Chains A and B, each alone.
Chain A
Amino acid sequence: MRITSPHAHTPGNTGDVMKQIILATIPGLIALTYFFGPGSLINVIMMTAACMGVEAAILKLRRRPLGFYLGDYSAAVTGVLLGLAIPPYCPWWIVAIGAISAIGIAKHLYGGIGYNPFNPAMIAYVILLISFPLEMSQWAEPRTVLTESKELIGPFSALSHIWFGTPLTGALDAWTGATPLDSFKQNNSLLVEQLYASDSLFSTARWAGAGWEWVNIGFLAGGIYLLYKKIFTWHAPIAMLAMLFFCACIGYDNGSSNSLGSPLFHLLSGGTMLGAFFIITDPVSSAVSNRGRLIFGALAGLLIYLIRSFGNYPDAVAFAVLLMNFAAPFIDYYTVPRTYGHKKAKRATIKQES
């Protein structure tokens, strides 16, 4: 192949981009580990290894150069994100099934990197959630709510629990706690103020929910770093957060017992920030243009709010993102940017790869 212009390239490659993303998850991971014990860290490590393993196996099956494709770190990113999304201390087979679902089904069945219409991590998350609702809804209790007698789960008891199913020593309660989103959803008699005062998940927190507020702030920090690094544009995440904020303002209802939660509560709960900066920014499965990504993000935010408030699952990022993945081609169709020298944007025929 003859070398043609441009002869200059930005240094780095897709692998570097992916490494930046992994790097940016660190603040959130630190917060998770600090508040909930080593469960998420173990998850991330195991899941990353599992995903890389599945990726390598499939690349081998498909006779692709291993080093070249593993070097794009896309499987690692999927592993990290899925590891962060699933509850800590879940058994090892959850991890295995998750990796196979994400890399095998959601990614390679669709043709590999760049061809998957759905976010692999979220597909895997939903498969797990539907198949193993019990294991997938047991979150650890944050350290702030632990009473004197309870201890944070240690790494050894965690590992033996994960691998051999041995009960978590000493701190059973610390394992089966509800999340702030659960508590809020189950509440229908207390004013928000009363709930905040009575539930230790809120009383020990500063703004939104014990532990979770910091986890979200951690992911927010990572997201801001990625924005600064121009890994992605601000359109999708900011649109999603703004929409969630807007909806929460409407549904807050002045903190009555019917309140659907304060804006801050929604922004700093569950997977909000992880979703905003690490999931819907997944370039492959989102909309193409900036305008499209604004719409994509805003609609994702709306869906998250609606599913959280009216759906059966307390958190909604995965469902919202998958639904929006469906909608991405349509958004693309209507948001082709106006080309230089053209009066109107062509509502051309963007064909989604299939």
Chain B
Amino acid sequence: MSYNVSSVRKVFDIPGGVHPPESKEQSLQLPLGPVLLPQRVVLPLSQHIGAPAKAIVAVGEKVRTGQLIAEPQGLFSVGLHASISGTVSAIEDRPIPHTSGMNAECIVIESDGLDEWVALDECEDYTALERDALMAKIRTAGLAGMGGAGFPSAIKLNPRADDKIDTLIINGTECEPYITADDTLMREQADAVIQGTLLLAHLLGAPSTVLIGVEDNKPTAITALKKAAAAIEGECNIEIVDFPTKYPSGGEKQLIQILTGIEVGSGDVPASLGIVCHNVGTAVAAWEAVRYGRPLISRITTVVGEALDTQRNIEVRIGTLISEVLEQNGFNADEAARLIMGGPMMGFALQDAGVPIVKTSNCILAPSKQELPEPPPAQACIRCGMCAEACPASLLPQQLFWYSQSEDYDRLQAHNLMDCIECGACSFVCPSNIPLVQYYRASKGAIKQAAVDKQKSDRSRERFEFRQARLDKAEAEKEAKRQARKQAAAEAKKLAAEKKEQELLQPTIAPVAAVPIPAAVDPEAEKAKLERALSSAQNRLDKAHERLDDAEPERRDKMAARVKEAELKVLDAQKKLEQFNTADNNDPVAAAIARAKAKASLPPHAKLTSSIEALKKRMTIAADKLSSAKTEGAATVDALQAGLDKMQGKIAKLQQELIDLGPEPAVEATVKEDTTPDPAAAAIERAKAKAAASANMSPADKLHDQITSIEKRIAKTAEKVAVARAEGSSTADALQLGLDKMTAKLDKARADLGELAPQVQPESAQNVDSAPEPDAASAAIAKAKAKAAATANMLPEEKLRDQIRSMQTRIEKTTVKVTAARAEGSDITDALQLGLDKMTAKLEKAKSELAELSN
């Protein structure tokens, strides 16, 4: 024998702790009571932490004592055995012993009174067995921690591979007052305790340290254990350690601290420190399971309290109803303050005695009203700190109480509420009798619930976010496509706008404008096309001449008009071809020059009318802008008005010139009958018609009318907007949109306005110079031809110089305006700047053109 009785292990103190009256004597007066064979047992399928067992018997089936009647579901579960022989009478929900007094599924067995056992598989020498076979025996014996919570024992015996177990602690502390079940077990079955300890040590790979911890208030048990340990043959390294009695030293974490001085980290399991802790009852049950093949079907329970006639320990079959146990021990219901399963510190009150003894039931406490009186009403917390003094976990119970009351869960967690072991020491000492633990349990429940909820909401949020991400991605792809389209459209628009600008810049007759400079067309094909057009136009002209000659007198006029039309077309075609030949199509400067040249070759009538047309067009735009500017009260109104006035003046002048050129009755006549859809010719003819008509009505008046009407409309719109705004009408937005568009137009107008006048001025000046003369159609044609020839000779440099000069003047003016607008922080600054930039660019262009020409 190697047990060294003299070995004294250093024990450590734990913080806090209390010394409630032990009250252990009364149940130790009588020896362990005889086995009480119940008439009926109620066996809950879940007497442990983890998944409930699954019944494998049917109602009506006959079972024997020790027979497996429900098998574990998975590893984290424990099987269940019949604790008596008899018939399964029901598998149904019955009240079970639980803090919340709930019902759960139970197997009910009616006794046949015989207690017939199944054949038990004994084993003389377990060391001869493989570890797996041994573990299987433990697993099938239905072992769950018998100290308190009912943790499946097999799991604790099967630590993770990386947790090397070097310490096995057998907990014989039993620090709760009143309870003496483990004490009795150690006294009466000390050998089994020692054997069980050795077995567990063997299963854990023979840890170097094996301790049985017992409080020093159980001297009999300590002596018995020491004797039993000493009697073991062969090697035995079990140390029986006693230490001062103090509640709650039996808590697993506290016992580890007492015996090793080590604290189990918050949220860790002892196995991570190489420590495994088992209850003495579990050690004995494991021993019996292995040695005798006996599953866990009974346990020692303390039946104690002044409301009982007999207070003692009994070995009772699992599933025996507590009412039955109480009855047999002389229970006086009238005297009892309440019924408690467990001890006075951590036990829970039973609402009903009709619940069974389960594997974890170490005590039935039936105190009298004097023994455990109703708690007095709680007084205010005086922050005396006695609770903090008592707390074994070094918490600040008074702060926890404070935050529990205010449901401040963040602060509760910051104060480590979750490390509270609910030992009740704080409540026990509280002079104000505050049920502190009750508050903590409620808060813990709420925090756990919140965590579960959060997990749930996290998961659904994740799902939502994932979905959102997917949608976003799809949306982004769509958006990218849209952007691409938009950009393409914008480019196209820009291109078009540039063309339009050039068109405005170089007022030409409609046909020219109608032929946009093809950007990327095969020049050869284009040239061929133009040549074909020219020849066909010439053909038509010849034919027209022929017909004119052949025509009857009354149709001559018509024919003459046709001839003229054909001539124009020929001219047009010639011009285009020329333009094509002289200019690189992609070079706008060259194109502009070509256009300028072409224009120069136009007959004065056409030139004038086209000038008028272009001016009118621009005037309409300007009038539009003006009115919107007026509506918005923009600062540009004056400038726009001035531009408009100027334009009107010019139009009047041009029209006067046109009149001076002389009427063209023939042409006028033909125009009316002409159904040719050619828009260019039509436009010219319309202009001519108007010019003719203006003999009767002043075009200036006409324009005035036009402007007035536009102004009226805009004023009306502005009014409507104001009204809609005032009424909060939904149309306000639509109207506002219109106004916004006008603003945009206004911005553009400023840019355009600048460009408007100058181009007209030099041209009109020129037009005036190239003096008018004849009257007849043929004469006009002849004259136009002559003029075209003349202007072709005129130097384009001069024109450009004029342009440049006027542009410079305008740039200067605009610069002044921009500066002023800047200074005032006006919102048209940007628009002005834009116009300025454009002008500068044009100036540069014109200059470079000029330079090119001079070369």
Contacts and interface: CB of A to CB of B under 8 A. Distances in A.
B375 to A, nearest CB: 6
Interface string A109-144: 000111100000000000000000000000000000
A151 interface: no
A9 B428 contact: yes
Contact of B346 (A5, A9, A293): A5
B416 A346 contact: yes
Q: Is the interface of A mostly helix, strand, loop or mixed?
A: loop
Nearest to A347: B414
Interface in B382-427: 382-386, 388-389, 392-396, 398-399, 402-403, 408, 410-411, 414-416, 419, 422, 424-425, 427
B394 A5 contact: no
B530 interface: no
A94 to B, nearest CB: 27
B338 interface: yes
Contact of A348 (B367, B374, B414, B419): B414
Contact of B431 (A17, A286, A348): A17
Interface stretch (A173-181, A250-258, A333-341): A333-341
Contact of B428 (A8, A288, A290, A339): A8
Interface in A241-273: none
Interface in A279-336: 283-284, 286, 288-290, 293, 336
A159 B348 CA distance: 59
B353 to A, nearest CB: 16
A13 B379 contact: yes
A128 to B, nearest CB: 25
- Which of A8, A68, A290 has the most CB atoms of chain B within a 10 A radius of its CB? A8
A68 B346 contact: no
B442 to A, nearest CB: 10
A290 B377 CA distance: 28
A114 B382 contact: yes
A14 B432 contact: yes
A7 B396 contact: no
A184 B250 CA distance: 58
A2 B253 CA distance: 28
Interface string A210-251: 000000000000000000001011000000000000000000
B431 A16 contact: yes
B379 A7 contact: no
Nearest to B365: A7
A4 B345 contact: no
B344 interface: yes
Contacts of B392: 340
B432 A6 contact: no
Interface string A70-93: 001010000000000000000000
Contacts of A348: 411, 414-415
A23 interface: no
A353 interface: yes
Contacts of B540: none
A343 B389 CA distance: 20
A341 B263 contact: yes
A350 interface: yes
B824 interface: no
A6 B345 contact: yes
Contacts of B260: none
Contacts of A68: 377, 379
Contact of B382 (A113, A230, A290, A351): A113
Contact of A341 (B15, B266, B372): B266
Contacts of B524: none
A10 B384 contact: no
Contact of B389 (A5, A8, A13, A233): A233
Interface string A195-206: 000000000000
- Which of A283, A286, A346 has the most CB atoms of chain B within a 10 A radius of its CB? A283
A350 B410 CA distance: 11
Contacts of A61: none
A336 B414 CA distance: 10
A68 B580 CA distance: 112
A288 B348 contact: no
Contacts of A342: 265-266, 416, 419
B382 A288 contact: no
A349 interface: yes
B394 A339 contact: yes
Interface of A: 1-10, 12-14, 16-17, 68, 72, 74, 112-115, 230, 232-233, 283-284, 286, 288-290, 293, 336-343, 346, 348-351, 353
9 contacts: A1-B435, A6-B437, A7-B345, A7-B365, A8-B345, A114-B383, A290-B389, A339-B395, A341-B264
- For the complex of A and B, the 4 pairs showing the least CB-CB separation, nearest first, are A6-B424, A348-B414, A341-B266, A114-B380
